[in-house]
Structure 1
Amino acid sequence: MTEERGETKRDRVRRLLLTPLADIGFHWKRGTDPAEGQNRLDRLADELAYLSDRDLGRLFECMRTKGQGAARNLWPAHATFIAFAQEAEGRPLAEMPGLASWFASRAGRDALEGDRLVAEFWFWQRYHCPPVRDHQRRLVETKAAEIRDRVMRIRDKLRREVQIDEVDRRYLARVERDEAAALALVKHEAAA
């Protein structure tokens, strides 16, 4: 991989996204301090380092038409990059301490006790916000019930040694993986 060549994550984002955008003409507004512009791009590269090479390529294709200014060739706002990156590939919760701390709070313990931990974890992965409104809580409750029902049916088949299809096998693996990740966040607070 790129690490063998000594390429950092930041360098990889530069190579696959930022340099190609600069090569087609993206630049900072006249009067922008070059050091400040470089700091902004470095911060952006660090924040987008979680993206795969493929998704960085997709983000390049998307962002090439999002230039600001009359000529549409000024660097887009940081938030614009982040929004489109999120659509390409959601940032892992473990890389967002502010979001992950939700699970380390009383809310995480409540989700665990209410048997909706995975549903809340998936809600966070998708929306990057807590389910605090009534309709969001209902959505999480409904999803939690669906998860419990499907997992119960899959495990029942496994217990009876009935063959399950690959879709169900992957679903169960995803639930178990995400439950372990969310549980680790909840237990992190309990240990602190």
Structure 2
Amino acid sequence: LFAVGDISVFVRCSLSESSAIITTLKQELQSLLSQKVDLEKAIQLIRDEHTTLQLTCSHLEDKLRKTQDENRELVDRLMRYKSKDAEKMNEENDKFLKKRYAKIQRELEEAAKDSSRNVSLDTYAPDIPYSEKSAVPTKPSYVFDAHEGEVSAVKWSPVDRIVATGGADRKVKLWDTSKSTLS
């Protein structure tokens, strides 16, 4: 190509040279126009691809949104089913426990009825001597303060009437019952 300064050269050229320059410039112009058309086609192709990709992306976003909604609905439905199953299981457990407690209650009532019958010791152990007067005492024979708070354990010694007591104060005390003193 010729710059502005080259125009003076162009003016001074002969007609044949000018024709050659014009032909060269026309070819160059055709080449540039062809490149321009190719670039415009490439730009249009890129725009079309961009539009297609945007539509595809929009479609996929809609599909994702629908899938997420469906997933949320399925999770909610699953939670409702699990809740119903848990309620049903709790009801079955309650029924089982009620039946079990009723059975235990009946057994206790039957055992109480059986033990309330007057049965002679001779029936079960005729060879064992026993006193007709032996019974559980109804009043204490001796009362004393053993511990601070509750007494939780008492153990009688087989020798010398010694009693060991353990209490809530976490102490073990030995008592001599013949002297009523703490050993």
TM-score (norm 2): 0.17
Kindly name which structure, 1 or 2, has the bigger radius of gyration based on alpha carbons. 2
What's the TM-score once normalised by structure 1's chain length?
Answer: 0.17
Structure having the higher helix fraction is 1
- The higher-RCO structure (CA 8 Å, 6+ apart) is 1
Higher strand share: 2
